[in-house]
Amino acid sequence: SQQGEEDPQALSIQEGENATMNCSYKTSINNLQWYRQNSGRGLVHLILIRSNEREKHSGRLRVTLDTSKKSSSLLITASRAADTASYFCATDAKGGNTGKLIFGQGTTLQVKP
């Protein structure tokens, strides 16, 4: 069944607030990646976290990974209107030898100015 289920499906916040998105998956993984997609555009890679890592930061982004719970979270701090987009987690299944990614349905984030 589908890996990488995001929660919530949609999130609306005010500029300056923090946004937290969660992702759950079902099988063991090599890594988990977060992507952003603006309407009508391709996906932009945000962060890759490996299965032996617990937390990673990049600018205003913070990703955590809990392999015991098979879950990850993406935190965007001090959000801006430009952060409005859909956010997807994707997993690279352990034991797979192709690197193909399994995507969730995504969280649609709206940041109001």
Partner 1 sequence: NAGVMQNPRHLVRRRGQEARLRCSPMKGHSHVYWYRQLPEEGLKFMVYLQKENIIDESGMPKERFSAEFPKEGPSILRIQQVVRGDSAAYFCASSESRENQPQHFGDGTRLSIL
Binding site for partner 1 (CB under 8 A): 4, 30-31, 33, 35, 41-45, 48, 50, 88, 90, 92, 97-106
Q: How far is CA 12 from the centre of its chain?
A: 16
Q: Shortest gap between Cβ of 104 and partner 1 (angstroms)?
A: 5
Closest to partner 1 by CB, 14 vs 54, is 54
| DSSP type of residue 68 | T
Q: Shortest gap between Cβ of 16 and partner 1 (angstroms)?
A: 28
Q: Shortest gap between Cβ of 66 and partner 1 (angstroms)?
A: 19
Cα separation, 28 vs 14, whole angstroms: 36
Closest to partner 1 by CB, 76 vs 90, is 90
Q: Shortest gap between Cβ of 15 and partner 1 (angstroms)?
A: 25
Cα separation, 61 vs 74, whole angstroms: 7
Closest to partner 1 by CB, 45 vs 80, is 45
Q: Tell me how many degrees the CA angle 6-88-56 measures, rounded to the nearest 5.
A: 95
Cα separation, 107 vs 20, whole angstroms: 10
